[in-house]
């Protein structure tokens, strides 16, 4: 028995040693999987220059468009990789600059610190073979030390399992049917969309129709801008509500943003029509909300109530609305984002409460488009997370890194959409990468048209062959593919 016991101990010891060896080998293999590239080993363009030698220095000189550097790398295996840019801000303020893979933007390298640290784009797909990778200039004024690549972790198995429960506890039947269908499509289909001020037969929609051989986008994007009281006071007259009703009646879906023109007393008189931009208004949201500017607060309520009346017309016509107020807040270029995250979230909750509870607008599906986790107002007032992405010209990639970033905004499973886009994404790449935006909605004007006078499709941002390919894909939803959401079959 003693000998047997010693044998067992010996065997267990051997197993432990082998396990340790296996763990060490695994760790070594994982460590070996990291591809580390020193920035100063790249090719420099414009004002870029290296500081110190390879391995101990960095590159700087990001001042204006064209200032960039580029590294060569070889990938051994097709797959998704996390790209970490080790960088620092020259002055310690917030900076964002494009990460360029094979000549196309795949996301932004972001920093808020004077100390070097990683900014990581997760789940970027690379094919086996040679690639170029580098940083271009947008905000500029950064130092870049290195770039590292590691294989991405598997995507969550429940990624597209969104429960069809709206934040409004008593949604209209139409809103609930629409949201049920959106949840059914999520991860399986991509829903097309187009902003078009002219509505159903506006020039952008005509351009799409011509380019695709007869298809219309499923979603029509419109704006509440001209219903803002300060614009009405200057003579504007909105038509978007009527156009939205027409599109719904033809079987389409409507989404609204609101370029909220600040109240009249706070506008720069010669640019009153640009009063949604921070630079053209003196309106201070924080002061209006903390009691320092009571007149400003009352004007906030007046404006919200004015928009509520327009939304009621849609509600009474049975039109559900993909509602996206206070968009792109974290950028700060709109006044509702200029006072910081806390004031913004307070305004978001004020709008939600006033529209839902005071005005009984139960036809709204709430799209939050703050674009930063710090600005997320909470799961109980958000139905869908929207991101606006303008990666440049003819960039058809999935923008998977931003999609993955959205997962960190909340622990809940929320649908993620491209609420605005410059280039139409290639559906084939969305499904290849496993990051399937629920919908896209291309911005109007130059992103679709050659000019403002003709409805010919422009190819500056999206080529006609790509439009045809996307709209013909069986996994892509056009207006003709939308089922009856009015309940007429019930």
State the Cα angle at 240 between 278 and 288, rounded to 5°: 30
String of DSSP letters for 421-485 = ESSPP-HHHHHHHT---SBEEE--GGGTBSSSS--PBP-SSS-HHHHHHHHH-TTEEBGGG----
User: Which secondary-structure segment (H or E) carries 209?
Assistant: helix 203-212
The CA distance from 126 to 129, in Å, is: 9
Burial of 253 (0-12, 13-18, 19+ CB in 10 A): buried
Structure tokens, 263: 């109240």
Helices 294-316, 240-249: inter-axial angle, 10-degree rounding? 30
CB atoms within 10 A of CB 171: 21
Look up tokens 């790398």; give the residue.
73
String of DSSP letters for 20-44 = HHHHHHHHHHHHHT-EEEEGGGSEE
Q: Beta strand 142-151 with 35-38: parallel, antiparallel or unpaired?
A: antiparallel
Residues 6+ apart with CB under 8 A from 17: none
Classify each residue of 137-163 as buried b or exposed e, where b means 16 or more C-beta atoms within 10 Å of its C-beta. Answer: bebbebbbbbbbbbebeebeeebbebe
- Provide the sign of the torsion angle of the four alpha carbons 127, 128, 130, 135, taken in this order: positive
Q: Which residues are catalytic?
A: 328, 420
The backbone torsions φ and ψ at residue 101, rounded to the nearest 5 degrees and listed phi first, read -110, 120
The CA distance from 335 to 316, in Å, is: 31
Q: How far apart are the first and last CA of the chain?
A: 78
- Provide the sign of the torsion angle of the four alpha carbons 180, 184, 186, 192, taken in this order: negative
The backbone torsions φ and ψ at residue 164, rounded to the nearest 5 degrees and listed phi first, read -80, 55
String of DSSP letters for 444-458 = -GGGTBSSSS--PBP
CB 363 within 8 A of CB 323: no
> Which of 317, 310, 327 shows the shortest CA–CA distance to 276?
327
Query: What SS3 class is residue 233?
Result: coil
Structure tokens, 442: 């291309």
């Amino acid at each position: 028995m003693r000998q047997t016991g010693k044998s067992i101990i010996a065997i267990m010891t051997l197993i432990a040693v082998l396990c340790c060896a296996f763990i060490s080998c695994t760790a070594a293999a994982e460590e070996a999987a990291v591809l580390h590239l020193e920035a100063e080993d790249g090719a420099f363009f414009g004002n870029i220059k290296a500081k110190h030698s390879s391995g101990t220095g960095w590159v700087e000189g990001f001042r204006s468009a064209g200032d960039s550097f580029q590294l060569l790398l070889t990938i051994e295996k097709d797959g998704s990789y996390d790209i970490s840019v080790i960088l620092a801000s020259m002055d310690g303020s917030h900076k964002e600059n494009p990460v360029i893979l094979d000549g196309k933007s795949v996301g932004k390298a972001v920093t808020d610190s004077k100390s070097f640290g990683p900014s990581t784009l997760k789940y970027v797909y690379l094919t086996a073979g040679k690639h170029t990778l580098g940083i271009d200039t947008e905000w500029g004024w950064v130092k870049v030390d290195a770039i590292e690549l590691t294989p991405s972790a598997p995507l969550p198995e429940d990624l597209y399992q969104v429960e069809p429960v709206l934040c409004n506890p008593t949604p209209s039947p139409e809103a609930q049917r629409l949201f049920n269908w959106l949840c059914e499509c999520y991860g399986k289909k991509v829903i097309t969309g187009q902003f078009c001020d002219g509505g159903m037969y506006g020039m952008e929609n005509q351009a799409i129709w011509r380019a695709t051989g007869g298809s219309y986008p499923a979603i029509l994007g419109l704006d509440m801008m001209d219903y803002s009281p300060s614009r009405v006071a200057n003579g504007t007259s909105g038509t978007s509500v009527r156009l939205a009703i027409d599109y719904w009646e033809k079987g389409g879906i409507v989404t609204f943003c609101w370029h909220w023109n600040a109240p009249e007393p706070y506008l720069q008189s010669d640019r009153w029509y640009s009063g949604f931009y921070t630079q053209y208004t003196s309106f201070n949201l924080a002061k209006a909300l903390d009691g320092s500017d009571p007149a400003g607060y009352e004007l906030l309520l007046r404006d919200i109530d004015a928009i509520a009346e327009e939304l009621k017309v849609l509600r009474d016509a049975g039109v559900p609305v993909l509602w996206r107020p206070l968009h792109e807040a974290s950028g700060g270029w709109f006044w509702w984002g200029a006072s910081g995250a806390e004031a913004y979230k307070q305004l978001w909750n004020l709008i939600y409460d006033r529209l839902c509870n005071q005005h009984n607008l139960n036809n709204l599906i709430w799209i939050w488009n703050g674009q930063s986790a710090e600005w997320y107002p909470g799961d109980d007032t958000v139905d869908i997370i929207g991101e606006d992405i303008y990666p440049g010209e003819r960039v058809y990639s999935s923008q998977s890194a931003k999609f993955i970033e959205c997962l960190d905004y909340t622990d809940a499973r929320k649908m993620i959409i491209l609420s605005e886009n410059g280039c139409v994404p290639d559906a084939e790449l969305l499904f290849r990468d496993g990051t399937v935006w629920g919908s896209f909605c291309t911005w109007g004007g130059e992103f679709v048209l050659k000019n403002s006078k003709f409805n010919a499709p422009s190819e500056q941002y999206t080529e006609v062959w790509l439009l045809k390919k996307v709209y013909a894909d069986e996994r892509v939803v056009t207006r003709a593919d939308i089922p009856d959401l009015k309940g007429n079959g019930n």
